[in-house]
Structure 1
Amino acid sequence: MQDPTPTLAALPPGALSGVTVLDLSRVLAGPWCTQTLADLGANVIKVERPDSGDDTRAWGPPYLKTPGGEDSSEAAYFLGANRNKRSITVDIAHPEGQALIRRLVLQADVLVENFKVGDLARYGLDAQALLALKPGLVVCSITGFGQTGPYRDRAGYDYAIQGMGGLMSVTGERDDLPGGGPQKVGVAVADLFTGLYSTVAILAALRHRDLTGQGQVIDMALLDTQVAMLANLGSNYLCTGKAPGRMGNAHANIVPYQVFESSDGHLILAVGNDKQFAKFCEIAGHPEWATDPRFLRNADRVHHRAELVPLIAEVLRRQPRQHWLGQLEAAKVPCGAINNLDEVFADPQVQARGMTVPMAHPLSDRLQVVANPIKLSATPVQYRRPPPLLGQHTEELLSEAGLSPAEVQALRDQGVIG
């Protein structure tokens, strides 16, 4: 199928138009960072291994469906983190491949990589060597544990980082209840947060570069990010010396503030103050709860959680979810549905906000991507290119770098490019 990439010259410039990013990362944290930069208008060149490419190209099923309904070669995982990029295949273990990366660096503003600590130095492509080649370059290195410290040589994976960084100690049901024990979050939040923090760091470094001409090295670690994103729980521990435990879907300091079951599904009740509790009691048909000394104030409700929560659960179980949500929302009592993904993408608010985008793909006309949530008034996010096929833009990018067709063919004959 012909490449359906639209004519890009007609598109208005994005916020990061003119910024070129050389992306040597793979899997999720790095590609999430570079996809965000690409969505904002940066020219992102994704460097992949010949033959196999980014690991996530093979992380399926599910795969993108062809027009005939068959599985294509493109894993949904890869498609979720690599739009608006161009793919070039380069074997950096080959001296000619290393020379090619240096040539691309001369045209780049940013390089993002997530190799193990010291790996790129074996190829003469470490941060210091690249900064010597181009002093204005911003190099962002993303690893599990950072460039320093006793764990620097370890491989880092999101699941392990969620455990090591404390998140799983506060996620999941209490140990004394059925199903109790540590739980990971359902998506790779350590990877995703690290990708976003990396984006912020790159933008700050580009601002510094624009002011001074000086590039720099950004050292991002999944473990650092996971510790930072403990947020108020980390602050609570540092102030008290007491480690918080798992509360399941309940809240340590507010009652009722948890998941309850209705007659046809679950809902969230998130009462934030005593006035909201009184309104809830009216809706529940038990106004006397609001004047009961055990439940009068939030502190009382926290102390008598074991008595109040079963009473609420018994009432909410009697009616369907929408019965309660409609009344609670009308009374401005905080609440919410627990939607599966069918319901999420069918939700009128999600649709009104344009949170899915169709994109023409070389292998399918069925591609839908989750939209970028950033809404900019003057330089909106653009969906210029579908996630690339492996090496799809190799010849195009090498031509832009000044190589002749004969030089490109010579590199292909040597196995330097795919």
Structure 2
Amino acid sequence: MAKGALEGVKVIEFGHFLLVPTATAILADWGADVIKIENFKAGGDPVRFPQAIEGQAPPADIKPSMWFHYFNRNKRGIGLNVMTDRGREVLYKLVEKADVFATNFDPRAIEKARVDYETLRRINPGLVYCQCSGYGTAGPDRNKPGFDYAAWWARSGMMDRISAPNEALRPQRPGLGDNLSSPGIAGAIAAALFCREKTGVAQKVEINLYHMAVWGLMFDIGTALHQGVNLKQTDRKTVTNALWNCYQCKDGKWVMLVMPQTDRYWPSFCKAIGKPEWEKDERFDSHTKRMEQNMTLIATLDEIIGAKDAAEWETIAQEYDLVLGRIQTPLEVASDPQAWENDFFTELEYAPGVRFKTVNSPVKFSETPASVRTLAPELGQHTEEVLLELGYSWDDLGALKSEGAIM
């Protein structure tokens, strides 16, 4: 197998839940040697066992959840109690030989564990230190816990903006903010490594969920900054551009039209829906008029599009070079030939005769391919292996275990 782009880069992950573990999984896909530190006294990363998140102790025979494998593949794992002097000594030895240290524990936990930036840079001046948080490392909320539901979805305005007017707010998809932020974290770490390679200077990288969501909501936040108003919210019955809207088909499936430049698409669109006379219809013959007649147009398109199945509309859209996307369920995505043809997914052996499917790295390198090589480690699976690489003897390992520093 060809080497990954980050082959030879050693990453220490001092993280939990999703934000940093997902980012370091990307680095591991790209070839980095990621060593995941888990507090074995607490049962490890809570995502190992969703029952533990809900306050239930996991039975001994339950394997780590599929979610844990998704976000921790390709890593090595060690069980380490960094709240002991000897455990912290092990961590510092890891840092001496590392290129990157990444954490998403809150600042108080970082200080308590003595793994803050200033401490670790004294141990290794060449270390790229990545600190991820909910709301940033300054300001009154710097110590506030920040899962993506609170920091990314709620605080940023994201949850407000994706809801239709007068619609009751509802919880959104778990981990979406973490997952969408993680490529930015991985890219920032890679940029800092590139800078170190060119200049010899390492640095601290900071990313928070709140800011990442604000960046993603740039249209709305930019309007608020410059015009002092919120962009108008609409539902599908009142959206101003009828050609930028979703419609239900005869078979119950939905399609999304995405044609913001309506003048460009209008002649072909009229032919595609069997209404060539609309091209010159004085009600609809300009973008401005179509916006003025939006509700009439939407109601008519509901009838027209509702008369054919989604697959028929996909064929018609392709014939007339129109932008139309079928709205799929996750189950449909999992069997989509387009996704499989482009290597969206891969399989690993989970147990004899049992295959584990997961999502591939979305980034493709022509010469240094990303890859999913192993499942997530068992709790403490590589503790001995990693410590022996650091120069510890078997007698040392026995002493560390007896002291409760390692598992």
Whether the TM-score (by the shorter chain) exceeds 0.5 is yes
Aligned residue for 1:255, secondary structure, equals coil
**Equivalent residue, structure 2, for 1:267:** 255
Structure 1's unaligned 5+ residue stretches are 1-10, 62-70
Distance 1:252 1:230, change over 3 A: farther
Q: Within 5 Å, give how 1:207-286 maps onto structure 2.
A: 207-248=194-235, 254-264=241-251, 265-272=253-260, 273-286=262-275
Q: Is the 8 A contact 1:40 1:380 kept in 2?
A: yes
CA distance in structure 2 between the partners assigned to 1:224 and 1:331 by the alignment: 40
Asked whether 1:164 is paired with 2:151, we answer: no
**Equivalent residue, structure 1, for 2:119:** 129
**Equivalent residue, structure 1, for 2:50:** 59
Asked whether 1:384 is paired with 2:373, we answer: yes
**Equivalent residue, structure 1, for 2:357:** 368
**Equivalent residue, structure 2, for 1:22:** 12
Asked whether 1:311 is paired with 2:311, we answer: no
CA distance in structure 2 between the partners assigned to 1:247 and 1:187 by the alignment: 25
Question: TM-score, with normalisation over the residues of structure 1?
Answer: 0.89
Q: Is the 8 A contact 2:81 2:404 kept in 1?
A: yes
Aligned residue for 1:361, secondary structure, equals strand
Q: Is the 8 A contact 1:102 1:130 kept in 2?
A: yes
Percent identical across equivalent pairs?
A: 30
**Equivalent residue, structure 2, for 1:101:** 91
CA distance in structure 2 between the partners assigned to 1:381 and 1:250 by the alignment: 44
Q: Within 5 Å, give how 1:334-353 maps onto structure 2.
A: 334-353=323-342
Distance 1:327 1:167, change over 3 A: same
CA distance in structure 1 between the partners assigned to 2:278 and 2:120 by the alignment: 68
Question: TM-score, with normalisation over the residues of structure 2?
Answer: 0.91
Q: Is the 8 A contact 2:345 2:358 kept in 1?
A: yes
Aligned residue for 1:360, secondary structure, equals strand
Asked whether 1:118 is paired with 2:108, we answer: yes
CA distance in structure 2 between the partners assigned to 1:314 and 1:14 by the alignment: 52
| Post-superposition offset of 1:97 | 0.9
Q: Is the 8 A contact 1:142 1:221 kept in 2?
A: yes
Opposite residue 139 of structure 2, the aligned amino acid is: G
- Equivalent of 1:205, from 189, 192, 196? 192
Opposite residue 159 of structure 1, the aligned amino acid is: Y
| Post-superposition offset of 1:225 | 1.1
Asked whether 1:174 is paired with 2:165, we answer: yes
Opposite residue 101 of structure 1, the aligned amino acid is: L
Q: Is the 8 A contact 1:271 1:277 kept in 2?
A: no
Question: How many equivalent residue pairs?
Answer: 395
Aligned residue for 1:387, secondary structure, equals coil
**Equivalent residue, structure 2, for 1:415:** 404
Q: Is the 8 A contact 1:170 1:245 kept in 2?
A: no
CA distance in structure 1 between the partners assigned to 2:88 and 2:350 by the alignment: 31
Distance 1:245 1:46, change over 3 A: farther
Worse-matched range after superposition: 368-377 or 191-200: 191-200
Provide Cα deviations, 1:377-415, integer angstroms capped at 9, x if missing partner: 110112222211111111111111111112112212222
Provide Cα deviations, 1:251-275, integer angstroms capped at 9, x if missing partner: 9663321110111111112233224
CA distance in structure 1 between the partners assigned to 2:202 and 2:380 by the alignment: 29
C-alpha RMSD over aligned residues: 2.1
Q: Is the 8 A contact 1:82 1:387 kept in 2?
A: yes
Asked whether 1:141 is paired with 2:131, we answer: yes
Structure 2's unaligned 5+ residue stretches are 53-60
CA distance in structure 2 between the partners assigned to 1:294 and 1:365 by the alignment: 60
Distance 1:324 1:367, change over 3 A: same
Worse-matched range after superposition: 71-80 or 341-350: 71-80
Distance 1:209 1:19, change over 3 A: same
CA distance in structure 2 between the partners assigned to 1:316 and 1:400 by the alignment: 64
CA distance in structure 1 between the partners assigned to 2:237 and 2:201 by the alignment: 49
Distance 1:343 1:255, change over 3 A: same
| Post-superposition offset of 1:417 | 1.5
Provide Cα deviations, 1:44-67, integer angstroms capped at 9, x if missing partner: 000011051111111269xxxxxx
Aligned residue for 2:131, secondary structure, equals strand
- Equivalent of 2:76, from 61, 66, 86? 86
